[in-house]
Amino acid sequence: MEQAPSVHNNRYDIPLKYRKMENLHIVFWLFKDVAWCLGLKWLGTTMIIPTLIISIVIAYRTRQYVSELCHNLAITVWISANSYWMVSEFFGFDHLPIWGNYTFKHLALIPFTIGILILAYYYLIWKPLHTKKSDY
């Protein structure tokens, strides 16, 4: 049976296998962004899959803690936005106009904005209403 993260004595404990997954997630994320920087389309595009999947798994595993869930969902949509932007540059449609001065690259603003809204909800609504330490 899987052990979930827990809060004890004002400490947030993460099981070692969860921490290892989070660390591996950073490796995939860095490979994706380095590939983007170097213009390695095949590697950058391929790294989207493990980076995004692990991000979703991490968000799911921390769903019982609103703070962790909101931050991990924001990371997931950030990776989605970042990945879309990378793909739009790799395949040369980032500069094509959609409407007025907005191009296909600007569609990345949608998931970026969703991430900001998730964190705004947490910090401006949820957290002020749940000030007890046990509410984490």
**pLDDT of 19 above 90:** no
Write down the pTM of the prediction.
Answer: 0.85
* 134 has pLDDT over 70: no
The residue ranges of every structural domain in the chain are 6-131
75-121 tens-digit pLDDT: 999 999 999 999 999 999 999 999 999 999 999 999 999 999 999 99
Looking up tokens 């899959």, which residue turns up? Answer: 49
Burial status of residue 108 (CB atoms within 10 A of its CB: 0-12, 13-18, 19 or more)? buried
DSSP states along 63-123: TTSHHHHHHHHHHHHHHHHHHHHHHHHHTT-TTSEEETTEEGGGGGHHHHHHHHHHHHIII
